[in-house]
A = this chain, B = another copy of it.
Amino acid sequence: LIVEIINTGSELLNGRRLNLHQQWLCQRLARLGYAVNRQTSVADTGPAIETSVREALGRADLVITTGGLGPTADDLTRERIAGLVGRSLSEDALALENIRRFFQSRQRPMPERTRVQALVPEGALVLPNAHGTAPGLALHVLPNAFRADARPSWLIMLPGPPRELHPMFDAQVAPLLAEKLAPSGPVATHTLRTTGIGESLVEEKISGPLRHLLTAGLDLGLCGHPGEVEIHFTARGRTAPRVVAEAVEISRAELGKAVFADGEESLESVIVRQLAERKLTLALAESCTGGHLANRLTDVPGASAVLLAGLVTYSNAAKQEFLGVQSATLAQHGAVSEPVAREMAEGARAHTGADFALSVTGIAGPGGGTREKPVGTVYLGLATPQGTLVLKQLNPYDRETFKRVTSQQALDLLRRKLLGD
């Protein structure tokens, strides 16, 4: 099967926006067993869209476009593609009703312009949009005048905003592809997620023990993020499930507690789930991560059952006022120190009555470093019913990566505690 992706949007060609759709769609399609042959970005002008879609229809069994389904004058995908494949557009009652409901639920009037998003090319399947107004559209191009062999193509148009595209792909495009355009032969995949260990070391640990499976066709993909490595296993053919299962088992044995989740589950989600299952509660005391840790945990639905409070105590006065850190400790050791991390965690636990409290104090940079405590120095505290531990780390990265890596280390400290380390 030949698969192509077309990302429309001038913001992708003038450098204003990073193309995140390419990687996201390629990852999702790979997991479903499809290999993408080509990805193209074109401006959101009529001729550019028409030319690129015509060419792709001439080559591919599946063409996925992103963007250009909105209500404004530069949203041309729907109209130009309908014209290209010779289908008339007409208003779809259900699509219109969805748009009406979207505005009603927000108690806002429906701008007349948005009505254009209910236009659907003749014969297209409408993919309702649970998080916006523009539905996705799926067209079976048959007969396909664009291909020399006249073989049909599927053409799927998805909206540009990620929060609309992602759930639409998972809930509607994936099942549609499974039904209409199944990949050739069975595919088995699995993902393990690790933390506290670098990409090269992960590879070093598992590539030897997996050699016989790699020779037999196992595809191993490592993907490093700040503070985290994803390991993707893919195999094809009759023995695929067995090959992947064996690879996962071997990797788990080699990597041990570094593996924190299977599939898509995030570290913060693992923490919230494990605490909720045991009816345990958590408080946070953050300095240099500035609320990043609280924000990550509260991204998890149900976090309110677990997280009692998060104190972002940037100033020394706030550390004293809200956490009871002693002024003598601050004066003697400085805010970035083992004793202050300890008092912050213990203060947060005592003031909230939580079972556990995590604290973070460090130097995020770019300024504030010294010879003894360079930028990136950080102390992580964990107060528990059995006592308090403090870990020192050095994370000399840019500000956002620092926050991400540091919060990952803090969450992992709690995860390993819950594992009984």
Contact = CB atoms under 8 A, between A and B. Distances in A.
Given A72-B199, A312-B294, A314-B304, A15 B24 contact: yes
B12 A106 contact: no
Contact of A106 (B222, B309, B394): B394
Contact of A309 (B26, B27, B284, B311): B311
A399 B13 contact: no
26 contacts: A10-B219, A11-B223, A14-B27, A15-B24, A15-B26, A15-B27, A16-B27, A19-B19, A37-B43, A38-B48, A40-B41, A70-B199, A72-B222, A131-B398, A290-B295, A290-B298, A291-B293, A291-B312, A292-B295, A299-B403, A301-B366, A301-B399, A302-B367, A309-B315, A311-B322, A318-B352
A297 interface: yes
A385 interface: no
Contacts of A397: 131, 163
Contacts of A73: 203, 207
A419 to B, nearest CB: 25
Interface stretch (A81-89, A107-115, A244-252): A107-115
A349 to B, nearest CB: 13
A45 to B, nearest CB: 10
A416 to B, nearest CB: 20
A204 B113 CA distance: 10
A16 B230 contact: yes
For the complex of A and B, the 7 pairs showing the least CB-CB separation, nearest first, are A290-B298, A291-B294, A15-B27, A310-B312, A15-B26, A291-B291, A309-B318
A70 B351 CA distance: 46
Given A297-B290, A312-B312, A14 B43 contact: no
Contact of A15 (B28, B43, B317): B28
